[in-house]
């Protein structure tokens, strides 16, 4: 499932990477520890000739609890995508050697989604051949960019380009924030950390106020557009190309989602295998809670989602690489497709894992509420994924916008992109394919149901929009009147993509792996398909892809699937090949000694380092001895 990290032993031999101790760290300690880790991994990479992939896997093994995440995942990729070759030659070596530390400063206090309304300006001054950067009012200040608070010496600032009195829209500018001598903010720069968050507190997400900060004209990252010395704006590629970094990060977020749900399902399943509680037979031995059908119903979806996201990430990485190679050669033909696909799938993946991680946490009972179980921490660390790189609702709407274009092409008899080729089919030609028995136990048949449901959802909202427009609604009212259905259509398409990637990946694997493994993966794929239909049964019924009778058969097969997966559940999470130090959970250790690890973690609790708490001497002693309390 995860390329086994052959260097795990080297990494986890060092106390710095042993994760138990993170609990109880202050924010400053977490922040320092994260920086220390990234730089130490960099040293290990050099000492042991690790590849970049080894470096990336090491970061994943630490659940991205490292420093410079934005520097590595956005600042450097943005230079690669937005800078000219000369600018790359200047900035990339500095960034890759950490001589400059960067962030991607786009979001403002007042705007994150609506990039057209960003208020930061970069005004060209032809007299000095410079841009003057300004955050004109409180709401304009950059707010949220990772590493901006205390670390970044430079930022790629997204600002409205102003030449004369004309606004040329959002463009990227390289701005130095801090001195490379003493790390102090430069003149005109006010910068700091935005404060503690629900999680990811090792990251110094920051704010940035720009008071007439001057930068040379060559600091505008000019791959897609540039300004000449005499103030002419020359666009060399579509403005959308300036959005390219976000597309890459949305792909990375699918991988991040996959990593977190693997952790969660591993903890929940291993703990459920060792936890014995109650019995179904009066006086009988206590059962492994993993044998309760309800426990399986709660946590097998996260197991199936782990594999589904793994296969979808692999498929989307290939799709992205093809598109990116063309875009970097100036051919933007696949830009709309990759944007539409990754907007939707980033949203769907992060929605899916945040829901299923909470189910994993609940399935651990009281111990799921302990930090030492880590499943709650994993959820907190994952929550931002539904917002970062585009709020999920907005991302679904971007995906829906793409789907509407595709179905319009299909209805006009034009070619459509491969991911939406199903829209070429005549919507009336679908027959209800599912009969009892074989049809409910064959993932390929289930795929037909997902296809019909997605096609129906997209066609239906397209028709409703058309109806609203023809009945006199203007474009924005018609759109706002159908946003919920548009989101629903995007989700239907994304769920079809996950199911399609799962089915196709398993059938490809079948050709090379053992029949035993193939049958286990087929079973999991079938379960993923059945469960997806049951949880969205209203939409599947509405699309007429299934009727009530078929739904009954499918629900029965889903419950049968739980029992079929049960014997392989622990092996399926062991197959993630995750080191105990990656999972960090007292409940999810490979040795299964959850209670011992819980007690070890409790003993490490700082409060237990003294028998009598300081509060005793301040408050409890007099109270217990019946003496009057001093005025508090």
Catalytic residue numbers read 389
Nearer to ligand DCC by C-beta: 112 or 188?
Answer: 112
Among 5, 12, 104, 430, the residue binding ligand FAD under the rule CB under 6 A is 104
The structure tokens listed for 42 are: 């960099």
Q: Which range touches ligand FAD (CB under 6 A), out of 50-58, 315-323, 332-340, 385-393?
A: 385-393
From 252, 343, 251, select the one nearest 69 (Cα to Cα): 252
Q: What residue spans of 536-574 are helical by DSSP H?
A: 537-542, 548-565, 569-574
Backbone angles phi and psi of 280, in degrees to 5:
-90, -15
Contact partner, 116, from ligand DCC, ligand FAD, none, Cβ < 5-8 Å per class: ligand DCC
Q: Which range touches ligand FAD (CB under 6 A), out of 138-146, 217-225, 406-414, 510-518?
A: 138-146
The structure tokens listed for 610 are: 């003294």
Q: Minimum CB separation from ligand FAD for residue 197, in Å?
A: 6
Nearer to ligand FAD by C-beta: 69 or 267?
Answer: 69
Q: Minimum CB separation from ligand DCC for residue 252, in Å?
A: 4
Locus of tokens 């050669």: 329
Nearer to ligand DCC by C-beta: 368 or 390?
Answer: 390
For residues 235 and 242, what is the distance between their CA atoms, to the nearest angstrom?
A: 11
Q: What dihedral do alpha carbons 510, 513, 515, 521 form, nearest 10°?
A: -60
Based on the shown chain and the rule CB under 6 A, indicate whether residue 380 belongs to the binding site for ligand FAD: no
Based on the shown chain and the rule CB under 6 A, indicate whether residue 70 belongs to the binding site for ligand FAD: yes
Q: In the window 374-393, what residues touch ligand DCC (CB under 6 A)?
A: 388-390
Does residue 146 have a known ligand-binding role? yes
H or E element, residue 594: helix 594-604
Q: Minimum CB separation from ligand DCC for residue 595, in Å?
A: 34
Among 16, 39, 115, 598, the residue binding ligand DCC under the rule CB under 6 A is 115
Q: Indicate if the alpha-carbon torsion angle 361, 367, 369, 370 is positive or negative.
A: negative
Strand partners, 133: 122, 213
Helices (H) and strands (E) in the chain, counts: 22, 11
Tell me how many degrees the CA angle 114-117-121 measures, rounded to the nearest 5: 130
Contact partner, 205, from ligand FAD, ligand DCC, none, Cβ < 5-8 Å per class: ligand FAD
Size of the site for ligand DCC (CB under 6 A): 27
Based on the shown chain and the rule CB under 6 A, indicate whether residue 106 belongs to the binding site for ligand FAD: yes
Nearer to ligand DCC by C-beta: 203 or 295?
Answer: 203
Backbone angles phi and psi of 576, in degrees to 5:
-65, -20
Based on the shown chain and the rule CB under 6 A, indicate whether residue 225 belongs to the binding site for ligand FAD: no
Based on the shown chain and the rule CB under 6 A, indicate whether residue 67 belongs to the binding site for ligand FAD: no
For residues 267 and 373, what is the distance between their CA atoms, to the nearest angstrom?
A: 8
Q: Minimum CB separation from ligand DCC for residue 169, in Å?
A: 9
Backbone angles phi and psi of 229, in degrees to 5:
-60, -30
Q: Minimum CB separation from ligand FAD for residue 112, in Å?
A: 2
Based on the shown chain and the rule CB under 6 A, indicate whether residue 110 belongs to the binding site for ligand DCC: no
End-to-end CA separation in angstroms for the chain: 58
Based on the shown chain and the rule CB under 6 A, indicate whether residue 149 belongs to the binding site for ligand DCC: no
Contact partner, 585, from ligand DCC, ligand FAD, none, Cβ < 5-8 Å per class: none
For residues 539 and 492, what is the distance between their CA atoms, to the nearest angstrom?
A: 9
Among 87, 107, 420, 501, the residue binding ligand DCC under the rule CB under 6 A is 107
Q: Minimum CB separation from ligand FAD for residue 608, in Å?
A: 32
Residue 461: Cβ-neighbour burial (10 angstroms; 0-12, 13-18, 19+): buried
Q: Which range touches ligand DCC (CB under 6 A), out of 123-131, 184-192, 244-252, 270-278?
A: 244-252
Q: What residue spans of 383-421 are helical by DSSP H?
A: 392-411
Which CA distances in Å does 514 have to 3, 385, 505, 517, 520? 19, 36, 15, 5, 10
Strand partners, 213: 133
Query: What residue is closest to ligand FAD based on CB?
Result: 112
Are residues 338 and 319 in contact, defined by beta-carbon separation less than 8 angstroms?
yes
Q: Which range touches ligand FAD (CB under 6 A), out of 20-28, 393-401, 503-511, 526-534?
A: 393-401
Site string for ligand FAD, 145-174 (x = CB under 6 A): xx----------------------------
Backbone angles phi and psi of 630, in degrees to 5:
-65, 155
Based on the shown chain and the rule CB under 6 A, indicate whether residue 387 belongs to the binding site for ligand FAD: yes
Q: In the window 42-101, what residues touch ligand DCC (CB under 6 A)?
A: 64, 69, 73
Does residue 107 have a known ligand-binding role? yes
What is the contact surface with ligand FAD in residues (CB under 6 A)? 70, 104-107, 111-113, 144-146, 200, 205, 384, 387-388, 390-391, 393-394, 397
What residues form the annotated binding site for FAD?
107, 146
């Amino acid at each position: 499932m995860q390329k086994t990290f052959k260097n795990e032993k080297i990494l986890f031999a060092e106390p710095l990477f042993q994760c138990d101790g993170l609990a109880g760290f202050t924010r400053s300690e977490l922040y320092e520890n994260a920086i220390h880790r990234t730089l130490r991994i960099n040293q290990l990479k050099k000492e042991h000739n690790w590849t970049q992939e080894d470096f990336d896997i090491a970061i994943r093994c630490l659940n991205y609890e490292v420093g410079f995440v934005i520097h590595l995942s956005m600042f450097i990729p943005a230079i690669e995508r937005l800078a000219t070759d000369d600018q790359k030659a200047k900035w990339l070596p500095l960034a890759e050697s950490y001589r400059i530390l960067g962030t991607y400063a786009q979001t403002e206090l007042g705007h994150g989604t609506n990039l057209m309304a960003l208020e930061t300006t970069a005004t060209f001054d032809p007299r000095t051949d410079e841009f003057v950067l300004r955050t004109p009012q409180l709401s304009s200040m950059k707010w949220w960019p990772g590493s901006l608070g205390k670390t970044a010496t430079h930022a790629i600032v997204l600002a409205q380009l102003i030449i004369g009195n004309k606004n040329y829209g959002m463009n990227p500018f390289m701005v130095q924030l801090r001195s490379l001598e003493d790390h102090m903010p430069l003149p005109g720069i006010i910068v700091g950390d935005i404060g503690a968050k629900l999680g990811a507190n090792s990251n110094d997400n920051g704010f940035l106020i720009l008071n007439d900060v001057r930068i040379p004209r060559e600091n505008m990252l000019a791959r897609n557009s540039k300004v000449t010395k005499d103030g002419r704006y020359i666009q060399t590629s579509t403005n959308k190309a300036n959005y390219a970094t976000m597309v890459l990060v949305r792909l990375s977020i699918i991988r991040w989602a996959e990593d977190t749900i693997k952790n969660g399902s591993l903890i929940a399943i291993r703990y459920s295998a060792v936890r014995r509680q109650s019995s179904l037979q009066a006086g009988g031995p206590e059962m492994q809670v993993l044998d309760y059908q309800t426990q399986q119903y709660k946590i097998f979806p996260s197991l199936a989602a782990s594999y589904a996201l793994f296969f979808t990430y692999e498929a989307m990485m290939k799709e992205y690489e093809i598109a990116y190679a063309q875009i970097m050669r100036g051919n933007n033909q696949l830009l709309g497709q990759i944007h539409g696909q990754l907007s939707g799938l980033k949203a769907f993946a992060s929605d899916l894992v945040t829901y299923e991680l909470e189910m994993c946490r609940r399935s651990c009972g009281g111990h799921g509420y302990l930090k030492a179980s880590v499943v709650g921490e994993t959820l907190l660390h994952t929550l931002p994924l539904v917002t970062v790189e585009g709020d999920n609702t907005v991302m679904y709407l971007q995906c829906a916008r793409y789907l509407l274009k595709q179905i319009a092409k299909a209805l006009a008899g034009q070619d459509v992109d491969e991911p939406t080729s199903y829209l070429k089919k005549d919507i009336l030609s679908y027959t209800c394919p599912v009969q009892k028995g074989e049809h409910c136990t064959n993932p390929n048949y289930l795929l037909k149901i997902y296809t019909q449901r997605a096609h129906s959802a997209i066609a239906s909202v397209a028709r409703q929009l058309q109806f609203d427009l023809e009945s006199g609604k203007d474009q924005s009212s018609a759109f706002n009147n159908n946003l919920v259905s548009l989101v629903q259509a995007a989700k239907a398409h994304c769920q079809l993509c996950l199911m399609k990637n799962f089915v196709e990946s398993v059938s490809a694997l079948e050709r090379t792996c053992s029949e035993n493994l193939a049958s286990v993966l087929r079973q999991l794929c079938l379960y993923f398909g059945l469960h997806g239909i049951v949880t969205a049964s209203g939409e599947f019924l509405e699309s007429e892809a299934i009727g009530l009778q078929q739904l009954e058969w499918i629900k029965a097969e889903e419950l049968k699937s739980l029992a079929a997966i049960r014997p392989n559940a622990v092996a399926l999470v062991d197959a993630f090949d995750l080191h105990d130090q990656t999972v960090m959970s007292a409940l999810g250790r490979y040795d299964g000694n959850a209670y011992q690890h819980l007690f070890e973690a409790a003993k490490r609790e700082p409060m237990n380092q003294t028998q009598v708490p300081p509060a005793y001497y301040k408050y409890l002693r007099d109270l217990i001895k019946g003496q009057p309390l001093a005025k508090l």
